[in-house]
Amino acid sequence: MAVYKSYMGGNWIDSASGKTASNINPANTNDVIGTIQLASREEARQAVESAYFAFRDWKRTPAPARGRIIAKAARLMEDRKEELSAAITREEGKTLAEARGELTRAINVVEFCAGESRRMVGETIPSELPANFAYTVKEPHGVVAAITPWNFPVAIPAWKIAPALVAGNTVVFKPATLTPATAVILTEIFNEAGLPPGVLNLVLGSGSEAGDEIVCHPAVKAISFTGSTETGLRLYAQVAPRGVKVQAEMGGKNPVVVMEDCDMSLAVESTAQGAFGSTGQRCTATSRAIVIDRIADEFVERIVERAKSFKLGDGSVAGTDIGPSVDEGQFNTVLKYIDIGREDGAELKCGGNRATGDGLDDGYFVEPTVFDHVTPDMRIAREEIFGPVLSVLRVKDFDEAMMIANDSDYGLSSSVFTNDTNLVYRFVDEIETGMTHINSPTTGGEAHIPFGGVKHTGLGAREQGSTSLDFYTELKVVYVDYTGRKREGNLY
Ligand code: NAP
């Protein structure tokens, strides 16, 4: 059985805390994959200190040389793609096809960031004064904490670690406790690519202890967090008095709007993929279908049929469409929300139970679930469930659809299904989400395109794409006077 350890200052360390946690396969809880040695507060502090001492030399390493190491990490990820994909499926539960998709995205992001190392350009700006000009340079912050969730245990760490390092920061990586195996392999890969000791450090430990110690450490100058809105906003408030920079990508409650003139087959298939794919455990998962009343009966009938057609099972077995919830806590949360939906008066059209039989009894499987006649005030229409549960809300027209779509604390992703170009552009103008899709699922993104949300979903600069390095750099402005004389004009 594997033993997972933290990594700091170039060494894997045995934790003195004596505390451990088990890594368990959510598709089969008899499969205990390994034991995590949970880092103590003292060890979390040591990791930050290792990053602090490594920063000076790493900052001085030319950006393209940093980029070469990151490019090598991308190649090593490619070499270990199957191993990483299998590890994702075993500890997180998504299917092998989904895990391979995650790896492809992660490798693309790391490659993209390696290229950015040759584009860390500033501006030259002409002055109001003769023989003067100004220019800008981008500089790293220092120690950056990367705090990540379990649902994309390779891609999300990769899209934080790679740009942070390219920009010249050193990193303390604190992954979710539920997904240590992938975090260990990713750390091995980045270090094997040639990072000097202390540049990337891994802390395996609980959020409330090791995580808290990292975010409270005065040497940490910036925190890139992905996880729940509750944790993200708490962390933001906690570090605000120190003026720490925070980038937080948090929860979602993503709507699709289905108009009368849509291609119904496309709308149904895309909504089903968005709602039930990856077991609904994507931040961009579709959780609300807002459907024009006149076509709602047909939409519901067809999506129920599609929901029932998915094959649940162990993600490593060929032919499985949907894996389990990630752990007992998440599984109970999903079942609790299904009960809440029933109690609040929503009409359960399919699913609604733990899935059993046929190899499912030892895993955290929930039947794909569709509720109809959900109203905007119901909790299943407002709160993030993070499971295979879709709420259908019926509306009379486009204006009502937009009002309901935007009546949410969250603002990550959305979609519209229509062939009316005017409605497409009205939707794009009016929807309050950081990303939106036209006639395609709410899920998905590309390595070279910015990613993130608004409202209680997103804080700070967008991750990935042209904006990927923004959060990880400070701008320094340099004024150059080459007159050799006392300044004659006034600059205010
Ligand atoms: P979470 O419970 O908020 O945990 C996220 C990370 O924060 C974990 O590493 C956790 O450690 C750590 N943490 C918890 N308390 C902490 C503290 N006091 N100080 C420092 N770190 C702390 O979220 P999750 O359940 O792992 O992930 C699911 C959530 O992520 C969903 O809400 C989903 O929407 C969101 N998400 C958002 C995006 C996006 O881009 N918007 C992408 C993916 C996921 P432990 O694991 O040890 O508790």
Ligand 1 centre and the CA of 473: distance in Å?
Answer: 24
Task: Out of 261-265, 314-318, 450-454, 483-487, pick the least confident.
Answer: 483-487
Look at residue 444 and tell me if it is in a domain.
Answer: no
What tens digit of pLDDT does each residue of 329-341 get? 999 999 999 999 9
Question: Looking at the structure, do residues 292 and 243 belong to the same domain, yes or no?
Answer: no
Contact 164, 185 (CB under 8 A): no
**Which residues share a beta bridge with 149?**
none
Between CA 26 and CA 23, with CA 318 as vertex, the angle to 5 degrees is: 20
Checking if the pLDDT of 72 tops 80, the result is yes
Query: Ligand 1 atom closest to Cα of 452?
Result: 40
What tens digit of pLDDT does each residue of 140-160 get? 999 999 999 999 999 999 999
Task: Give yes or no for residue 440 CB within 6 A of ligand 1.
Answer: no
Residue nearest to atom 9 of ligand 1 (CA): 176
Check which CATH number belongs to the domain holding 67 and give it.
3.40.605.10
User: What average pLDDT score do residues 300-314 get?
Assistant: 98
Query: Ligand 1 atom closest to Cα of 384?
Result: 32
User: What average pLDDT score do residues 182-202 get?
Assistant: 98
Ligand 1 centre and the CA of 204: distance in Å?
Answer: 14
Question: Looking at the structure, do residues 274 and 240 belong to the same domain, yes or no?
Answer: no
State the pLDDT at residue 489.
66
* Domain range enclosing 40: 2-250+457-477
Look at residue 52 and tell me if it is in a domain.
Answer: yes
Task: Give yes or no for residue 247 CB within 6 A of ligand 1.
Answer: no
What tens digit of pLDDT does each residue of 213-252 get? 999 999 999 999 999 999 999 999 999 999 999 999 999 9
State the pLDDT at residue 103.
98
Task: Give yes or no for residue 284 CB within 6 A of ligand 1.
Answer: no
Look at residue 215 and tell me if it is in a domain.
Answer: yes
Task: Give yes or no for residue 23 CB within 6 A of ligand 1.
Answer: no
Check which CATH number belongs to the domain holding 353 and give it.
3.40.309.10
Look at residue 486 and tell me if it is in a domain.
Answer: no
Checking if the pLDDT of 491 tops 80, the result is no
d(CA 203, CA 421): 50
Q: 207 vs 11, 96, 238, CA distance in Å?
A: 22, 28, 14
Ligand 1 centre and the CA of 140: distance in Å?
Answer: 25
Residues 6+ apart with CB under 8 A from 289: 255, 256, 258, 271, 275, 299, 303, 390, 391, 392, 393
Question: Looking at the structure, do residues 262 and 181 belong to the same domain, yes or no?
Answer: no
Residue nearest to atom 32 of ligand 1 (CA): 228
State the pLDDT at residue 487.
86
Question: Looking at the structure, do residues 236 and 310 belong to the same domain, yes or no?
Answer: no
Structure tokens of 107? Answer: 């490798």
State the pLDDT at residue 492.
66
State the pLDDT at residue 488.
75
Q: Which of 211, 326, 246, 274 is closest to 436 using CA atoms?
A: 274
pLDDT band at 165; cut points 50, 70, 90: very high
Residue nearest to atom 12 of ligand 1 (CA): 207
State the pLDDT at residue 424.
98
What percentage of residues in the chain have a pLDDT greater than 90? 98
Query: Ligand 1 atom closest to Cα of 249?
Result: 41
Please choose from 229, 254, 283, 333 the residue to mutate so as to test ligand 1's pocket, defined by most ligand atoms within 8 A of CB.
Answer: 283
User: What average pLDDT score do residues 9-23 get?
Assistant: 98
State the pLDDT at residue 230.
98
Ligand 1 centre and the CA of 228: distance in Å?
Answer: 5
Question: Looking at the structure, do residues 99 and 219 belong to the same domain, yes or no?
Answer: yes
Look at residue 273 and tell me if it is in a domain.
Answer: yes
d(CA 361, CA 29): 10
What tens digit of pLDDT does each residue of 60-69 get? 999 999 999 9
Q: Which of 291, 285, 226, 225 is closest to 264 using CA atoms?
A: 291
State the pLDDT at residue 422.
98
The values of phi and psi at residue 241, to 5°, are -60, -25
Question: Looking at the structure, do residues 259 and 181 belong to the same domain, yes or no?
Answer: no
Question: Looking at the structure, do residues 30 and 152 belong to the same domain, yes or no?
Answer: yes
State the pLDDT at residue 268.
98
Question: Looking at the structure, do residues 245 and 267 belong to the same domain, yes or no?
Answer: no
Checking if the pLDDT of 478 tops 90, the result is yes
Residues 6+ apart with CB under 8 A from 45: 213, 217
Question: Looking at the structure, do residues 269 and 289 belong to the same domain, yes or no?
Answer: yes
Look at residue 450 and tell me if it is in a domain.
Answer: no
Average pLDDT, the chain: 97
**Secondary structure string (H, E, C) spanning the chain:** CEEECEEECCEEECCCCCCEEEEECCCCCCCEEEEEECCCHHHHHHHHHHHHHHHHHHHHCCHHHHHHHHHHHHHHHHHCHHHHHHHHHHHHCCCHHHHHHHHHHHHHHHHHHHHHCCCCCCCEEECCCCCEEEEEEEEECCEEEEECCCCCCCHHHHHHHHHHHHCCCEEEEECCCCCHHHHHHHHHHHHHCCCCCCCEEECCCCHHHHHHHHHHCCCEEEEEEECCHHHHHHHHHHHHHHCCEEEEECCCCEEEEECCCCCHHHHHHHHHHHHHHHHHCCCCCEEEEEEEHHHHHHHHHHHHHHHHHCCECCCCCCCCCECCCCCHHHHHHHHHHHHHHHHCCCEEEECCCECCCCCCCCCCCECCEEEECCCCCCHHHHCCCCCCEEEEEEECCHHHHHHHHHCCCEECCCEEECCCHHHHHHHHHHCCCCCCEECCCCCCCCCCCCECCEECCEECCCECHHHCCCCCEEEEEEEEECCCCCCCCCCC
Question: Looking at the structure, do residues 373 and 429 belong to the same domain, yes or no?
Answer: yes
Look at residue 447 and tell me if it is in a domain.
Answer: no
Query: Ligand 1 atom closest to Cα of 174?
Result: 9
Look at residue 258 and tell me if it is in a domain.
Answer: yes
Q: How far apart are the first and last CA of the chain?
A: 66
Task: Out of 266-270, 467-471, 483-487, pick the least confident.
Answer: 483-487
User: What average pLDDT score do residues 82-106 get?
Assistant: 98
Residue nearest to atom 8 of ligand 1 (CA): 176
Question: Looking at the structure, do residues 143 and 204 belong to the same domain, yes or no?
Answer: yes
> Does the annotation mark 283 as catalytic?
yes
Please choose from 105, 151, 334, 383 the residue to mutate so as to test ligand 1's pocket, defined by most ligand atoms within 8 A of CB.
Answer: 151
User: What average pLDDT score do residues 267-273 get?
Assistant: 98
- pTM for this entry: 0.98
Question: Looking at the structure, do residues 203 and 339 belong to the same domain, yes or no?
Answer: no
Which of 248-258 are b and which e, b meaning 16 or more Cβ less than 10 Å from the residue's Cβ? bbbbbbbbbbb
The values of phi and psi at residue 166, to 5°, are -60, -40
What percentage of residues in the chain have a pLDDT greater than 70? 99
d(CA 449, CA 220): 28
Contact 296, 304 (CB under 8 A): no
Task: Give yes or no for residue 252 CB within 6 A of ligand 1.
Answer: yes
Contact 181, 152 (CB under 8 A): no
How many separate domains does the chain show? 2
Catalytic option among 113, 216, 262, 283: 283
Ligand 1 centre and the CA of 175: distance in Å?
Answer: 9
Checking if the pLDDT of 36 tops 70, the result is yes
